[in-house]
């Protein structure tokens, strides 16, 4: 590939087995079973949400979204991992977007850390 300044990539699922395993969480919104999953799964779930929707600075992590149900589940996942989180909003002037904030104990995945 030619050199680029792009720092993010979009991947497509090419494995039918992987798609079949993940589809219920996206399509059917089976968010209630996430807390019953292993710690490794819950950490991976949070990492995925952080990478997709999160903002990181030295003081906190922020996940913004209008899907309050998802933010509540993410908050419960963090609490199940022993980390406090708080949801601010939703704010009417921001089209109903709310923010979940927590300490910066996770970091967003970068191309360097993903390649390891």
What residues have CB less than 8 Å from 112, skipping those under 6 apart? none
Domain span including residue 91: 16-106
Tens of pLDDT, residues 50-93: 988 899 999 999 999 888 888 999 999 999 999 999 999 988 88
- pLDDT of amino acid 3: 57
In 3D space, the residue among 78, 86, 80, 87 whose CA is nearest the CA of residue 105 turns out to be: 78
Residue 6 domain-assigned (yes or no): no
- Domain membership of residue 47 (yes or no) is yes
* Structural domains counted in the chain: 1
* Tens of pLDDT, residues 95-108: 889 999 999 988 88
With respect to residue 1, please indicate whether it lies within any of the assigned structural domains.
no
Q: What is the pTM of this model?
A: 0.70
CATH number for the domain that contains residue 66: 3.10.28.10
């Amino acid at each position: 590939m030619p050199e680029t300044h792009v720092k993010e990539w979009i991947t497509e699922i090419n494995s039918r087995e992987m798609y079949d395993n993940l589809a219920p969480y996206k399509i059917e919104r089976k968010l209630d079973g996430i807390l019953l999953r292993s710690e490794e799964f819950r950490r991976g779930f949070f990492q995925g949400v952080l990478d997709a929707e999160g903002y990181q600075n030295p003081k906190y992590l922020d996940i913004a979204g209008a899907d309050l149900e998802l933010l509540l589940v993410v908050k419960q996942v963090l609490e199940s991992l022993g980390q406090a989180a708080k949801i601010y909003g939703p704010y009417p002037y921001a089209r109903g977007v709310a923010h979940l904030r927590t300490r910066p104990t996770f970091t967003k995945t970068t191309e360097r850390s993903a390649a390891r």
